[in-house]
Chain A
């Protein structure tokens, strides 16, 4: 087929631009994926294979089987799960009424409270570490899971309130009025009208809180001493080899990858529901 005059020039002049797009895309993808690839490959290697340059050596499952058959690993994972779930749950319970008030009621100092909350969420962990340590010791929570839940709440709560305030604020005010005319008191309006409408926001906030706490390292390291209250990130950080001249990269990578699985599964499970919920709502 003969192309109309000028079409060839058009096609040629556009080739480099599409090529550039692919180059940029590849670099952008390689940057985050390469470390993951390295972690994955390393987690299936042992001993001197770790330093092999062969990209696809025969995989060894020894790292994984060692971890999964180790009761301490399961114990630490359970600690992580309990503390992260507890923090997510308590955060939601406390943040919902706070965010409702901040998002839907007008009162003196509302913006100040919001600014303070954002400030709290921005504070570096290390800034309150020593103070928290004293409080936790006094409360007798040291080396217990309670210490982590207590400490994590300091960061999770302001962040969650801040996020949820936006969701509550965006609900149309007419719905409140309609509820009032229908004879709903404020509790009923929150429970029957507002919460079902912001549940994608609740799920997203809960999920983010869970992931933040699951990955939390500094508090876990500082406030726990023994295996009894140790969480996964700390446990991974403390993995060592029998000899001090060897670092068990393979094992560390296997543990890290296993540790990322639960958050990934949770996100995959909730993602579609959250997206569906966000688009299904709105009547306008």
Chain B
């Protein structure tokens, strides 16, 4: 595979004590793109980011930034800036010193340093705190200083390592919007690591889903949402997560397929699945793609186990068949009570079929 772009990774690997943390990753990022690495802890996303930053050596592979290979270039000479989860501000320096530290080491003229600092302080509303020590600032303010320290350098590439995970929920939402606004304003190429799929969905131009050191899928947030390539991506992207039901494919009949769910009820999908005939697999359906229906239209029945009112939405946990708990999302305010029977249908177009190995069946030729 040939890759070209602003940032390219070519067969990048990292092994540590004989254990492969990053396995043969190739990726290309366009100039100005906001790319989010997402995955559960231990999937190698932070290690990958640190390798791009130059803080971690590669076991093999090539990293290039802006057309230049930087695989063995020192971190400070790669033209990247990084924001750390712990902010990593120098506690004994003022906010101003924290932000201009790098510029003074690079021996920029004093008037230019002052100009850059005042501009960044204005953008991030840090002017009142320039002479404060980080210890006296709140979490959100420290976070802004850490971002400011990255911006003043005018880097070619921004790296964020779980920057919002130390903040409380409200501040996290607020900072997320600030980050998105900032990216639109500066237009700098950005790599962002998080384990939070909401951050990934809202910030990213493209998401890279990582699992056990390997890329599971790359795509825009909606691509990942609508056409997850694997069970893992399907379960990871989207909140509340997708429902999974074991299935057996009975037969494909022209343009429709007859499935059996959990060895009991049958379901007919409006797409042919010839490759899977006679095999077992998994059916995935998102909570928002199940409709509560009345009477004859209903495909299935279940019993309400729990009702979670989220305000605009209500999430129902429904016992389905023998031992399956389905999550069903409704917008209606009239909600069923616990213990009640409930009739519902799956939107046939929104059903995802995965084979035995957890790979999505891509016969729904619309995509």
Find out whether the CB atom of B91 lies under 8 angstroms from the CB atom of A182: no
Q: Does A172 contact B (CB under 8 A)?
A: yes
Cross-chain contact A283 with B89 (CB below 8 angstroms): yes
Q: Is A110 an interface residue (CB 8 A)?
A: no
From B78, which residue of chain A is reached at the shortest CB distance?
A181
CB within 8 Å of B: which of A224-255? none
Task: Say whether A172 contacts B86, CB under 8 Å.
Answer: yes
Residues from chain A with a CB closer than 8 A to the CB of B361 are none
List chain A residues, Cβ under 8 A from B304.
none
Could you give, for residues 257-284 of chain A, a 1 whenever the CB lies within 8 Å of some chain B CB and a 0 otherwise? 0000000000000000000000011111
**Shortest CB distance B327–A (Å):** 37
Interface size band for A: 10 to 19
User: In the complex, which of the residues B50, B90, B106, B135 contacts A178, with contact meaning CB atoms closer than 8 Å?
Assistant: B90
Residue on B nearest A175 in the bound complex, by CB: B88
Shortest CB distance B61–A (Å): 21
Chain B residues with CB under 8 A of A174: 84-88
**Chain A residues, CB < 8 A from B101:** 182
Instruction: Give residues of chain B (81-121) contacting chain A, Cβ–Cβ below 8 Å.
Output: 81-82, 84-92, 101-102, 105-106
Supposing A280-B135, A282-B135, A283-B142 touch, asked if A181 and B82 sit within 8 A by C-beta, the answer is: yes
Bound Cα distance A172, B84 (Å): 11
A196 near B92 with CB under 8 A, answer yes
If the complex has contacts A172-B88, A175-B88, A177-B82, are A183 and B135 also in contact, measured as CB distance less than 8 A? no
Residues of A near B75 (CB, < 8 A) are 177, 180-181
Partner of A281 from the list B85, B91, B105 (CB cut-off 8 Å) is: B91
- In the complex, are the beta carbons of A178 and B76 less than 8 A apart? no
Q: Which residue of B lies closest to A174 (CB)?
A: B88
Contact of A193 with B55 in the complex, beta carbons under 8 Å = no
Contact A197 B88, beta carbon cutoff 8 Å: no
- Any A CB within 8 A of the CB of B53: yes
- Are B90 and A193 in touch, CB under 8 angstroms? yes
Question: CB of A40 within 8 A of chain B?
Answer: no
- Please report the C-alpha to C-alpha distance between residue A193 and residue B101 in the assembled complex, in whole angstroms: 11
Which A residues between 104 and 120 are near B, CB-CB below 8 angstroms? none
Instruction: Give Cα distance in the complex from A283 to B53, angstroms.
Output: 23
Residues of B within 8 A of A (CB-CB), count:
28
Residues of B28-76 contacting chain A, CB below 8 A? 50, 53-55, 74-76
Is A184 an interface residue when CB atoms closer than 8 A count as contact?
yes
A residues within 8 A CB of B102?
181-183
Which residues of chain A are near B134, meaning CB under 8 Å? 283
Known: A283-B134, A283-B142. A181 touches B81 (CB 8 A): yes
Q: A residues within 8 A CB of B76?
A: 180-184
Q: Name A182's contact: one of B50, B53, B87, B105 (CB within 8 Å).
A: B105
Is residue B80 within 8 Å, beta carbon to beta carbon, of the partner chain? yes
Most buried by A among B81, B84, B85: B84
Bound-state CA distance A66–B102 (Å) is: 61
Nearest-CB distance from B166 to chain A (Å)?
8
Query: A184–B105 contact, CB under 8 A?
Result: yes
Q: Which B residues are CB-close (under 8 A) to A180? A: 54-55, 74-76
Query: B55, B90, B133, B142: which contacts A177 (Cβ < 8 A)?
Result: B55
Q: Indicate which residue in A177, A183, A283 contacts B91 across the interface (CB closer than 8 Å).
A: A283
Chain B residue nearest in CB terms to A283: B91
Shortest Cβ distance from residue A65 to the other chain B in the assembled complex, whole angstroms? 47
How far, in whole Å, are A181 and B102 apart by their CA atoms in the complex?
Answer: 8
Q: Identify the closest chain A residue to B159 (Cβ).
A: A181
Q: Which residues of B contact A175 (CB under 8 A)?
A: 88, 90
- For B77, list chain A residues within 8 Å (CB): 183
* B55 touching A283, Cβ below 8 Å: no
In whole angstroms, how far apart are the Cα atoms of A180 and B80 in the complex?
11
Q: A177 to B84, Cβ gap below 8 A?
A: yes
A176 → B minimal CB distance (Å): 9
**Cα A281 to Cα B91 with chains together (Å):** 6
How many Å from the CB of A205 to the closest CB on chain B?
Answer: 19
Chain A residue with the shortest CB-CB distance to B81? A181
Q: Decide if A181 touches B80 in the complex (CB within 8 Å).
A: yes
The CA-CA distance from A175 to B75 in the complex, in Å, is 14
Contacts of B81 in A (CB 8 A): 181
In the complex, what residues of A have CB within 8 A of residue B85's CB?
174
Contact with B along A158-180 (1 / 0, CB 8 A): 00000000000000101101101
Q: CA A172 – CA B280 in complex, angstroms? A: 50
- Please indicate the chain B residues that have their CB under 8 angstroms from the CB of A178 in the complex: 82, 84, 88-90
A203-223, CB < 8 A from B: none
A172 to B134, CA, bound (A): 15
Q: Cα distance A175–B50 when bound, in Å?
A: 14
Nearest A-chain residue to B82, judged by Cβ? A181
- Minimum distance in angstroms from B285 CB to a CB of chain A: 42
Residue in A174, A193, A283 with the greatest tally of chain B CB atoms within 10 Å: A283
- Alpha-carbon distance A20/B40, docked complex (angstroms): 56
- In-complex Cβ contact of B92 among A172, A183, A197, A284 (8 A): A197
CA distance A183 to B101 in the complex (A): 9
- Closest CB-CB distance, B105 to chain A, in whole Å? 5
A contact residues around B74 at 8 Å (CB): 180
Contact B55 A282, beta carbon cutoff 8 Å:
no
Extra 12 A-B pairs, beta carbons < 8 Å, given A177-B75, A180-B75, A181-B55: A172-B88, A174-B85, A175-B88, A181-B54, A181-B102, A183-B76, A184-B105, A188-B105, A280-B133, A281-B91, A283-B86, A283-B87
29 contacts between A and B (CB under 8 A): A172-B86, A174-B86, A174-B87, A174-B88, A175-B88, A175-B90, A177-B53, A177-B84, A178-B82, A178-B84, A178-B89, A178-B90, A180-B54, A180-B75, A180-B76, A181-B54, A181-B75, A182-B102, A182-B105, A183-B102, A183-B105, A197-B92, A280-B91, A281-B91, A281-B135, A283-B86, A283-B89, A283-B91, A284-B86
The 3 closest A-B pairs by CB, nearest first: A174-B88, A183-B76, A178-B88
Chain B positions near chain A (C-beta within 8 angstroms): 50, 53-55, 74-77, 80-82, 84-92, 101-102, 105-106, 133-135, 142
